[in-house]
């Protein structure tokens, strides 16, 4: 399949998916659909043992497309099963590793959190700024982050909307390693080669055992429902208008 918003490169035993659309790597529905389709197809391959997910040097992804989000209300979001393609990543048997350069914000951060490992460039930045739009994280930001760090740190990120650097993300336990920017691409390929040299069945079993959590599915559904409700709120309209006009929001 020919993709327009991502680039797919298959090597001997692994594949690389690069977020590469014309909107600074924002996660519009088309981009999410393509990521979902590519990972699903790669998961069926006998040769592919792992997937590397990368973005650009400035933006891994800044999150959802704001103009697309502006048009959504709860009814439309439910009808199109908004963000379900990210949920489907949990069904992928082989390891998905996010290599983050630049900014991973909102949905971009949550996409990385949906992978099995996050490895960051020394220049990487992370944040959950949805509260500045009158919303909350809607792709697992309040739930998936708890697998890596304390509830206190999750509240700090989601309530403040602050952006943290790679070293702080590593202290939080969110990032596995921080690699100097100048060595990052070389490390990415070497690490994918290392993982793909291991027995595929062992990789799949390890992933399944570590990810086994009975209550995560229920808590993700609850988070998504609350996100949908806020799509109808006055504060969502105020937040997005202020973001687009670069003005300070006056919350209700």
> 160 falls in which pLDDT band (50, 70, 90)?
very high
What are the strands of the beta sheet with 6-10, ordered from one edge?
Answer: 6-10, 14-19, 50-54, 96-100, 117-121, 177-179
Domains of the chain: 6-200 (3.90.226.10)
**Residue 217 banded pLDDT, cuts 50, 70, 90:** confident
Rounded-to-integer distance, Cα 6 and Cα 31, Å = 7
pLDDT at 166: 98
Which of 9, 12, 101, 110 is an active site residue? 110
**Whether residue 252 has pLDDT greater than 80:** no
Residue 99 pLDDT greater than 80, yes or no: yes
Is the pLDDT confidence value at 1 over 80? no
Q: Which residue has the higher pLDDT, 48 or 210?
A: 48
Tell me the mean pLDDT in the region 225-240.
89
Is the pLDDT at 239 greater than 70? The verdict is yes
The CB-based long-range contact list for 235-238 (8 Å cut-off, 24+ gap) reads: 235/134, 236/133, 236/134, 236/135, 237/134, 238/134
- Which pLDDT belongs to residue 178? 98
Is 214's pLDDT higher than 70?
no
Q: Mean pLDDT across the chain, nearest whole number? A: 92
- Give the pLDDT confidence of 103-145 residue by residue, as tens digits: 999 999 999 999 999 999 999 999 999 999 999 998 989 989 9
- pLDDT for 213 beyond 80: no
Using CA atoms, how far apart are residues 202 and 185, in angstroms rounded to an integer? 26
Asked if 186 is an active-site residue, the reply is no
Question: Alpha-carbon distance 192 to 149, whole Å?
Answer: 25
Helix (H, G, I), strand (E, B) or coil at 159: helix
Q: Are 166 and 158 in contact (CB under 8 A)?
A: no
Asked if residue 24 has pLDDT above 70, the reply is yes
* Region of poorest pLDDT, from 23-32, 76-85, 89-98: 76-85
Stretch 144-149: mean pLDDT, rounded? 90
Residue 47 is a catalytic residue: no
Please report the pLDDT score of residue 80 as a whole number.
82
Strands 50-54 and 6-10, sheet pairing: unpaired
Are 225 and 78 within 8 A, CB to CB? no
Q: Which of 12, 34, 47, 130 is catalytic?
A: 130
Assess whether pLDDT exceeds 80 at residue 190: yes
Q: What is the pLDDT of residues 36-84, one digit of tens each?
A: 999 999 999 999 999 999 999 999 999 988 888 888 888 988 888 888 8
């Amino acid at each position: 399949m020919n993709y327009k918003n991502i680039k797919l490169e298959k090597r001997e035993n692994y594949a690389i998916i690069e977020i590469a659309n014309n909107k600074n790597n924002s996660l519009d529905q088309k981009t999410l659909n393509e990521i979902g389709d590519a990972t699903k197809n790669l998961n069926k391959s006998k040769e592919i043992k792992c997937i590397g997910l990368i973005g650009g040097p400035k933006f891994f992804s800044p999150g959802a497309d704001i103009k697309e989000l502006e048009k959504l209300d709860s009814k439309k979001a439910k009808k199109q099963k908004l963000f379900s393609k990210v949920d489907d990543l949990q069904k992928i048997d082989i390891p998905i590793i996010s290599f983050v350069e630049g900014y991973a914000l909102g949905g971009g951060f949550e996409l990385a959190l949906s992978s099995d490992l996050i490895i960051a460039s020394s220049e990487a930045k992370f944040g959950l700024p949805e509260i500045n739009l009158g919303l909350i994280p809607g792709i697992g930001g309040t739930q998936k982050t708890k697998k890596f760090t304390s509830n206190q740190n999750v509240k700090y990120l989601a309530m403040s909307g602050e952006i943290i650097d790679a070293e702080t993300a590593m202290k939080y336990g969110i990032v596995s390693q921080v690699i100097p920017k100048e060595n990052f691409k070389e490390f990415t390929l070497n690490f994918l080669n290392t993982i793909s040299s291991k027995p595929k069945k062992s990789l799949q079993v390890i992933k399944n055992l570590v990810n086994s959590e009975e209550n995560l599915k229920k808590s993700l559904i609850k988070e998504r429902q609350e996100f949908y409700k806020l799509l109808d709120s006055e504060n969502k309209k105020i937040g997005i208008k202020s973001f687009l006009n670069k003005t300070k929001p006056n919350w209700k």
